[in-house]
A and B are shown apart, each in its own frame.
Chain A
Amino acid sequence: MILLDDFLIRAALAGIGVALAAAPLGCFVVWRRMAYFGDATAHASILGVALALSFDVSVFAGVLATALAMATTVSALAGRGYAMDTLLGVLAHSSLAFGLVAVSFLQGVRIDLMAYLFGDILAVGRADLAVIWGGAALVLGLLWWRWSALLTATLNPDLAYAAGIDPRREQMVLTIALALVVAVAIKVVGVLLIAAMLLIPAAAARPFAATPERMAVIAALLGMLAAVGGLQLAFALDTPAGPSIVCLAAALFAASSLTGLLLQRRRG
Chain B
Amino acid sequence: MSSLISLDGLTVAHGGNTVLSGVSLSIAPGEIVTVVGPNGSGKSTLLRSVIGAQKPARGRIMRAPGLRIGYVPQKLHIDPTLPLTVRRFLSLPARVSDAWAAEALEQAGAGNLAARQMSGLSGGQFQRVLLARALLCDPQLLILDEATQGLDQPGSAAFYQRIEKVRQDLGCAVLMVSHELHVVMAASDRVICLNGHVCCEGAPEQVASAPEYRALFGTGTQGALALYRHEHNHSHDHDCARGHGHQHEAAE
Contact = CB atoms under 8 A, between A and B. Distances in A.
Contacts of B51: 158, 161-162
A152 B53 contact: no
B56 to A, nearest CB: 14
Nearest to A151: B92
Given A31-B82, A33-B79, A206-B81, A158 B88 contact: no
Interface string A138-169: 00000000001101101111111111110000
A107 interface: no
Interface in A196-234: 203, 206, 209-212, 214-215
Contacts of B69: 162
B154 interface: no
- Output the residue of B69, B71, B73, B83 with the most chain A CB within 10 A: B83
A30 interface: yes
Interface of A: 30-33, 148-149, 151-152, 154-165, 203, 206, 209-212, 214-215
Interface in B11-25: none
15 contacts: A31-B79, A148-B93, A149-B93, A151-B93, A155-B84, A156-B76, A156-B77, A162-B51, A162-B69, A162-B71, A206-B83, A210-B85, A211-B84, A212-B83, A212-B84
Given A161-B53, A210-B117, A215 B71 contact: no
Contacts of B95: 148
Contacts of A163: 71, 93-94
Contact of A31 (B53, B71, B81): B81
Given A148-B94, A149-B93, A161-B52, 7 more contacts: A30-B81, A31-B79, A155-B82, A161-B48, A162-B52, A163-B93, A211-B85
A157 B76 CA distance: 10
A78 to B, nearest CB: 14
A163 B95 CA distance: 13
Contacts of A162: 51-53, 69, 71, 143
In which size bucket is the chain B interface?
A: 20 to 34
B73 A212 contact: no
Interface in B39-90: 48, 51-53, 69, 71, 73, 76-79, 81-85, 88-89
Interface of B: 48, 51-53, 69, 71, 73, 76-79, 81-85, 88-89, 91-95, 117, 143
B183 to A, nearest CB: 23
Contacts of A30: 81
Interface majority SS on B: helix, strand, loop or mixed? loop
Nearest to B118: A155
Nearest to B77: A156
A197 B52 CA distance: 37
A7 B88 CA distance: 43
Nearest to B70: A162
B53 A157 contact: yes
Contact of A159 (B73, B81, B85, B94): B73
A212 to B, nearest CB: 6
Interface-centre pick from A30, A164, A211, A214 (highest chain B CB count, 10 A): A211
Given A155-B76, A156-B76, A212 B82 contact: yes
A35 to B, nearest CB: 11
Which are the 7 A-B pairs with shortest beta-carbon distances? A162-B71, A161-B53, A148-B93, A162-B51, A152-B93, A31-B82, A209-B83
B83 A210 contact: yes
B159 to A, nearest CB: 19
A203 B79 CA distance: 13
B93 A158 contact: no
